[in-house]
């Protein structure tokens, strides 16, 4: 789907976290649309470097792509970049609720400090446009569903969640002080080809293929608003488009699918499409996990024309095809 005008070739976009799951899909899409892309990644050892290098195979040799390996936690690390940049998509950071409980300082450094360094780089370079990757985790165990951007998000239940909320607040301060145009994009459980190996869908399918039991935390009634990666990337591209065409912007939007799937149903759908018989290992709920996520996407639809297209089961079929052929 074409979502940018023919002037995209005049624009350069900096993508942090470009070697990751979402970042690699986004970089590939932006290059196809005619943008010049500068990619940043530090190959955080949360999962193996070779996986991230493989993620970049599709576009690494593209003449419109430039890559820098650097650590955003280090002050002024971005100063080596001399190119003129029109917009930053900041995806880099530590992800995951459970690991954040074990290493809260790591999440403060990689999410909050790194975001401040990105913002300071933008301020110094005169870059005015930022699309920021936030998370549905900021909603915590909100009882009001679907989750609306108008809901109070002051009750984070994990260090990961509070780091993302802190970044949103930090972004607003730079918007106010330095006239940066910013959209905070709250992602809802993105899945699809290249998904991180620690995430449930990837982990469960691998266990199925190895005929090992699936760990199910709780009674299976927790639910997630799974969003296929192509739909998330389309939402990011549309956010960039909006930023390019508007000034005095500070917005927060949900990029979800608005269709929660129960954990037990998710397991059944993967098993059916993988043609496996699930073995379930029942375990207690884990600290920091929310009971459900459920996106109200009406603001994103109105603001940027966001309209997810891929159903959960169709996305699972595509993921299984990728997994079995990688």
- Which active-site residues does the annotation give? 160
* Whole-Å CA distances, 230 to 236, 259, 307, 310: 10, 16, 11, 8
* Token pair recorded at residue 125: 């370079």
The count of C-alpha atoms lying within 13 angstroms of the C-alpha of 249, restricted to the half-sphere facing its C-beta, is: 23
Across-strand partners of 132? 90, 184
Answer whether 269's CB lies under 8 Å from 208's CB. no
- Kindly state the helix (H) or strand (E) to which residue 66 belongs, with its residue range: strand 65-69
Answer whether 222's CB lies under 8 Å from 170's CB. no
Task: Supply φ then ψ for residue 198, to 5 degrees.
Answer: -85, -15
Task: Supply φ then ψ for residue 10, to 5 degrees.
Answer: -85, -5
């Amino acid at each position: 789907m074409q979502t940018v005008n023919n002037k995209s070739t005049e624009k350069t976009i900096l993508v942090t976290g470009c070697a990751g799951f979402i970042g690699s899909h986004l970089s590939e899409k932006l290059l196809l649309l005619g943008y010049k892309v500068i990619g940043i990644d530090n190959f955080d050892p949360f999962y193996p470097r070779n996986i991230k290098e493989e993620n970049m195979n599709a576009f690494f040799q593209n003449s419109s792509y430039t890559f820098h390996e650097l650590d955003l936690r280090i002050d002024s690390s971005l100063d080596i970049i001399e190119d003129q940049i029109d917009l930053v998509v900041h995806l880099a950071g530590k992800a995951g609720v459970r690991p954040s409980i074990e290493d809260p300082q790591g999440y403060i450094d990689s999410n909050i400090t790194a975001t401040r360094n990105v913002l300071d780089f933008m301020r110094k370079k005169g870059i005015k446009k930022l699309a920021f990757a936030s998370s549905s985790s900021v909603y915590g165990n909100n009882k009001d569903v679907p989750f609306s951007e108008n809901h109070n998000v002051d009750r984070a239940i994990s260090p990961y969640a509070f780091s993302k909320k802190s970044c949103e607040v930090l972004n607003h301060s730079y918007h106010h002080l330095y006239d940066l145009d910013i959209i905070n994009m709250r992602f809802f459980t993105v899945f699809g080809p290249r998904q991180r190996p620690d995430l449930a869908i990837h982990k469960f399918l691998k266990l199925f293929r190895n005929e090992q039991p699936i760990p199910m935390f709780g009674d299976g009634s927790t639910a997630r608003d799974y969003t296929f990666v192509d739909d998330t990337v389309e939402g990011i591209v549309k956010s960039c488009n909006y930023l390019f065409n508007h000034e005095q912007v500070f917005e927060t939007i949900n990029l979800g699918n608005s269709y929660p799937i129960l954990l037990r149903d998710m397991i059944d759908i993967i098993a059916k499409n993988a043609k496996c018989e699930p073995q379930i290992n029942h375990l207690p709920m884990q600290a920091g996990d929310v009971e459900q996520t459920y996106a109200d996407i009406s603001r994103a639809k109105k603001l940027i024309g966001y309209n997810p297209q891929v159903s959960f089961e169709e996305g699972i079929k595509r993921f299984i095809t990728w997994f079995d052929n990688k």
